Structure 1
Amino acid sequence: MPLTPLDIHNKEFGRRLRGYDEDEVNEFLDQIIKDYEAMIRDNKDLQNQIVGLQERLGHFANIEETLSKTIIVAQEAADEVKSNAKKEAQLIVKEAEKNADRIINESLSKSRKYALEVEELKKQAAIYRARFRTLVETQLDLLTQDGWEKLEPPESRSRDNEPRVREIVE
């Protein structure tokens, strides 16, 4: 068991002949007591500081652990957000590709339809031109015939030519 300042203070030394000077020994012991008490106080202060520092260290260790967990959670959340964004981007691209394919197919279909309509209109125009040419040629033939000098009044004209003219016009 360690000595206390009281133990040093109460220590009695035996007396002998030709021993040490009692006042010097008492002064030295008083000095030791003062120094020993100061060391004990310093030791207690240091122990209190150690306890305080250990508490702070524990607090900072908790903060560090919390921060580590927070960083891990944040990293996981960031990874999840990144993954979700990638999936969403892929879905958007697929949807855009589908829309593009649909638009292209619709455009091709309309293009084919318009091409068929153009061809039909060309055929109808050719038929119309042929009929019109025939009509004009028939009219020219009529104009070039000799009988114009002898024009008859409309009532005396034969009704036989009317169906032929209508046929040509149609």
Structure 2
Amino acid sequence: MITPLELMNKEFTVRMRGYDRSEVDDFLSVLQKDYETLFRYYRKTSGADAIEPIEEEEVREPAREPQGKEASEARARQLRAEAVLHEEAPARQAGAWTRPAEHDLGESVKEILLMAQKAAEDARTAAGAEAAAIVEKARLDASKAVYEADEKVKAAERRLADLSAQEASLRARMKGFLETYRQLIDDFEATSGIDYSL
């Protein structure tokens, strides 16, 4: 956590056509005072062990006091911070008040755990959906492969049946030709009177 001293000693580089130095100094002065008030409030409410102790001279402002409107705004902010501090004092004394850092840390841890649980559940759901999609794709691919193999078998069976029918037709035609030639030879032998038998 930045300290009021670090805030006050912050140096800015000056460039051509840069910010007005007196405005920056005035703003830093107001900011340092407000931050110092909040810093002290935080140290008081969260315990001295939460932040390294600071020396009184570290938080003293070395620069000039803001004047006019800025001074009144700074004083109003300081009074508001003190009012908040006074409003919470009874709750702290009654034991109902918890350290803001611990409360915020506990809430942050709970939120982080809830986000982690949700992320894990989302990842689990996504993995389940992805696994189901992979299984379904494998099932469809297997079904398609079985269908294609079955179609190939049926096509081969049809081709075999066609070839068998062609073979039977060719055999019948050959038998018919041979029978016709044998008949012609027998007729020729009968009419010519030559014996062609062996």
- Normalised TM-score (structure 2): 0.44
Match of 1:62 in 2: 125
| Pairing of 1:79-158 with structure 2 (within 5 A) | 79-127=142-190, 129-130=192-193
**Which sections of structure 2, spanning at least 5 residues, go unmatched?**
1-42, 53-98
Residues 122 and 57 of structure 1, relative CA distance in 2, 3 Å threshold: same
How far the C-alpha of 1:107 sits from its partner, in A, is 0.8
Q: How many residues align?
A: 106
1:76 lines up with 2:139 in the alignment: yes
Q: Percent identity?
A: 5
- Normalised TM-score (structure 1): 0.51
| 1:30 aligns with one of 31, 47, 53 | 47
Match of 2:107 in 1: 44
More helix per residue: 1 or 2? 1
- What amino acid maps onto 1:52 in structure 2? M
CA RMSD of aligned residues (A): 3.0
Q: Separation in 1 of the partners of 2:51 and 2:107? A: 15
**Which sections of structure 1, spanning at least 5 residues, go unmatched?**
1-25, 132-170
Q: Is the radius of gyration larger for structure 1 or structure 2?
A: 1
- What amino acid maps onto 1:30 in structure 2? G
Residues 63 and 28 of structure 1, relative CA distance in 2, 3 Å threshold: closer
- Once the two structures are superposed, what CA deviation does each residue of 1:105-160 show, in whole Å capped at 9, x if it has no partner? 011001101111221232344355449xxxxxxxxxxxxxxxxxxxxxxxxxxxxx
How far the C-alpha of 1:93 sits from its partner, in A, is 2.2
Structure 1 consecutive aligned stretches of length 4 or more whose deviation exceeds 6 Å: 26-29
- What amino acid maps onto 1:53 in structure 2? A
Residues 30 and 118 of structure 1, relative CA distance in 2, 3 Å threshold: same
How far the C-alpha of 1:65 sits from its partner, in A, is 1.2
Tell me the SS of whatever aligns to 2:47: helix
